[in-house]
Amino acid sequence: MHKFLSVFIPACRANTFAIFSFFLLIMTTIGCNRIQKIVSPKQEETVKIGFLVTGERAPYLNSAQLAVDETNALGGLLGTPVELVSLLNIEASLPLSIQTAEDMILKEGVIAIIGPNRSTHAVEVGAVAQRHGVPMITTAASNPNVTKAGEFVFMASVTDIFQSRVMAQFAIEELGVTTVALLTLSGDVYTEGISEFFASNLSEFGGEIVANAFYESGTTDFTGQLTDIAATQPDAFFISSFSQDIGTITQQARTIPLQNAVGTPTLFLGGDTWDNEVLLANEDAKVEGSFFTTHFSPNTAEPTARAFIDTYQSMYGEVPTGGIAVAYDAVKLLFEAIQRAGSLEAEAIRAQLLATENYVGATRIGSYDENRHPTKSAVILTVRNGEKQFYKQIHP
C-alpha cells in the first residue's frame, strides 16, 4: 500500500498519478503552485511509515515501495500490512519537509520516518522526529550532524567524514595529486560539510588546498570563481554541489580551460551527489575521467545486492544509483529492527536499530556507533566513455 500524503508540484507542471483501484482520489488545487493529496478510503489496519524525498528523486520512492512490497508479500510487519505515506518534495522546500513530517506523525500516525535524502532537510526533520519520540532513518543524507537531534535519529548512508577521507587519501596516494581547488555551494549543510572534511583530510595526507571558492544558489555563471581557480593550476578540482550545477561548472571549467602546472586538464573530483543519472545525461557536462565517492556500485557481485539491482532494474527499467540503494536499505533496516523488537513501540524500535549488526541488503552496515552513524564502506566510481564504472571499494 502506498499513499502520497502530499506532493509539491513546480509551477504549471502537468502531473499524472497511477493509483490503485481502491484509492479515492481527492485533488485540491491552490493557484498554479499546488499541493495534491491522495487519500485512501477506510481500509484494514496498516502500519504506516513516513517517507520523505527532497528534490527530483522519485526513484528513491520506487525503491522504498519495493522494500514495502517485499515485506507485505511475506505477511507484513508483525502480521500487519505496511503502508507507505510519502512526500515527493520536488522543489526542495524546507518548510514543506518540516511541516509534512509533523503531519505524518500527528495526523497520519506514522510509527517511523525514513529520509529525507538531503542533509539540510534531514537536520530539521530529525529535530521533529526527536521531539515526538519517533524513530527516523535518513536515506542519502550523509552529513554527520543529521543525528545530532537525538537518540531517535539514525543514518543509513556512509558519512561525509568517511567518504571525504576516502577521496582525499585516494587523490594523494593513487592519483598523485598534491594541489586541489575547491568550489562549494554555500548555505547547504551537505556541500559545506563535505568540503570542510575533504580539505582537512587532504592536508593530513600532505596535500594543499590552493583555492577555496564558494557560490550562491541560483548562480549560472561561474567564470569569476573558475578564473581565480585556474590561476592556481591545481592538480584536482573538488566540486561540492548538486547535479544541475556540477554539469554547468564542469562545462565552464573545461572552456576556460582549467589545467594543472604541466598543462594537462585538471582532474575533477566529487562526492555522492555526483552519482546521479541527471548528471551523466547532461550533454553539456564535462565529467569524463572524473572520480567520485558513493554508496555502492551496481557492478557488485554480492548476492543480496545483486538481487536488489536485478529486481529494481526489471521493474523500473534503469540501474539503481547509490542513493536508490540506500533508500531501500533504510526501509529494510527499520523493518528488521521491528521484527527483532517484536513491537511497534518507538523505544523498542530505537533500541533494536542501535543494536544492528551485520545488516546485509543493497549495501552493508556492520554496526552503529554512539552517534548512530553506520560503519560501512564507500565506493569510488569513475566516468569512462560517458558511463559510471566501478573503480574501488574502501572499507572502514
Residue 383 lies in a domain: no
Please tell me the least confidently modeled range out of 5-14, 175-184, 288-297.
5-14
**pLDDT reported for residue 3:** 59
pLDDT at 20 over 80: no
Given 279, 294, 309, which residue is the final one in a domain?
294
At 5, the pLDDT band (50, 70, 90 cuts) reads low
- φ/ψ of 13, rounded to 5, equals -90, 130
Instruction: Please state the rounded mean pLDDT for residues 259-269.
Output: 97
* CA–CA dist 303, 307 (Å, integer): 6
Q: In the chain, what percentage of residues exceed pLDDT 70?
A: 89
Task: Report how far Cα 42 is from the mean position of its chain's Cα atoms.
Answer: 33
At 266, the pLDDT band (50, 70, 90 cuts) reads very high
| Model confidence pLDDT, tens digit, residues 107-151 | 999 999 999 999 999 999 999 999 999 999 999 999 999 999 999
Q: What is the pTM of this model?
A: 0.87
Residue 386 lies in a domain: no
Q: Which single residue is written with the C-alpha cell 529492527?
A: 337
Structural domains in the chain (count): 2
Residue 278 lies in a domain: yes
Edge-to-edge strand list for the sheet holding 236-240: 208-215, 179-185, 236-240, 267-270, 291-294, 378-384, 387-394
Based on the fold, state whether residues 209 and 277 are members of the same structural domain: yes
Q: What is the DSSP string of 145-162?
A: GGGTT-TTEEE-SPPHHH
Residue 390 lies in a domain: no
Mean pLDDT, the chain, as a whole number? 90
Range of the structural domain that residue 138 is part of: 2-157+301-376
| Model confidence pLDDT, tens digit, residues 53-86 | 999 889 999 999 999 999 999 999 999 999 999 9
Indicate the burial class of 348 (C-beta count within 10 angstroms; 0-12, 13-18, 19 or more).
middle
For the domain that residue 290 is a member of, what is the CATH number? 3.40.50.2300
Q: Which single residue is written with the C-alpha cell 523493518?
A: 335
Residue 118 lies in a domain: yes
| Model confidence pLDDT, tens digit, residues 206-237 | 999 999 999 999 999 999 999 999 999 999 99
pLDDT at 36 over 60: no
Is residue 352 classed as helix, strand or coil in its secondary structure?
helix
Edge-to-edge strand list for the sheet holding 34-39: 24-26, 34-39, 2-9, 82-89, 47-54, 112-114, 136-138, 153-155
Q: Which single residue is written with the C-alpha cell 565506493?
A: 379
Based on the fold, state whether residues 273 and 323 are members of the same structural domain: no
pLDDT at 51 over 70: yes
Based on the fold, state whether residues 93 and 167 are members of the same structural domain: no
- Residue 142 · residue 326 · CB < 8 Å: no
Based on the fold, state whether residues 317 and 353 are members of the same structural domain: yes
Measured distance between the N- and C-terminal CA atoms of the chain, rounded to whole angstroms: 37
Based on the fold, state whether residues 50 and 140 are members of the same structural domain: yes
